[in-house]
Amino acid sequence: MAEIRQATDDDIARFYGAIEFKSQWVARALRNGRLIAGFGGALETADGVWFAFLDVPPQYLKPSIYRHIVAGIHEAKSKGAKVIKARCDTRIPRAEALLKHLGFLPTDEVVDNEVIWECQVSN
């Protein structure tokens, strides 16, 4: 059975390879035994601006993951996030609905044919 917990630098390296975030970040690792099966979080890209990501296989996209997404947003806010941006992959069922439910709105910005969404989380 998979579990979600705070991610460590080692978790990031095991999932994404040898990368290092040079800015502030918050993340959760989805573990299935010793395997890191998914990852989600946000990292600071500019002062007060964070970029969220969710890289989870479809079989793990369950309603219970929502509370971890909300916790990550609150953690980023506590570290100074004022705006959180995210890409929306419309091939993922209910991706748009999730972003809207979290308070994100689509922008005019597009990256790799995906609309960038934005959420104001000012303190």
First vs last C-alpha separation in the chain: 36
Q: What is the pLDDT of residues 20-66, one digit of tens each?
A: 777 899 999 999 888 899 999 999 999 999 999 998 888 887 778 88
Contacts 24+ apart (CB under 8 A), 44-51: 44/79, 44/80, 44/81, 45/85, 47/80, 48/80, 48/81, 48/82, 48/83, 49/81, 49/82, 49/83, 49/84, 49/85, 50/76, 50/81, 50/83, 50/84, 50/85, 51/84, 51/85, 51/86
Return the pLDDT at 1.
67
If one counts the domains in the chain, the total is 1
pTM of the predicted protein model: 0.88
- CATH number for 106: 3.40.630.30
Is 26 within 8 Å of 9 (Cβ atoms)? Answer: no
Confidence band (pLDDT; 50, 70, 90) for 2?
A: confident
Residue 123 confidence (pLDDT): 60
Which residue range forms the structural domain that includes residue 38?
2-120
